[in-house]
Amino acid sequence: MCQMLRNRQEQLENKQPLNQRVDLNKIECIEDVPWIDRYMELAIALDAADINNKGIISKTEAMHLINKYNVSHKLNYDDKIILSAIDNSLQPENNKHICIGNLLEELNISSQN
């Protein structure tokens, strides 16, 4: 799953020349952008929040970013799905941090149901 996300992120970042990339901030109707591209924007934001490159971020930061992107990018996640994904992604040794890869996998799986 994480490899799939990395591959899609590389496609978004590298395969298209910068002048041909879709700038989601300039789109009039975000729903015209494929859902996977909107989801990848969330994935990139979560990854960018991981300043230590350990694949984990705080539960609070994850919740903030998911809610922000859920609204702005119309990802259409129900609050119950978000809470469940975060709970299922908590680090066993520290329940204040989540594993980004697990969180993205949980969110992606829930979007397919």
pTM score, whole prediction: 0.74
Q: What letters, b where the CB count within 10 A reaches 16 and e where it falls short, cover 26-51?
A: eeeeeeeeeeebbbbbbbebbbeeee
Average pLDDT of 58-73?
A: 95
pLDDT tens, residue by residue, 13-44: 554 444 444 555 555 677 778 989 999 999 99
Three-state SS across 4-34?
A: HHHHHHHHHHHHCCCCCCCCHHHCCCHHHCC
Domains in the chain, CATH or no CATH each: 2-112 (1.10.238)
What pLDDT score does 15 carry? 47
What pLDDT score does 23 carry? 57
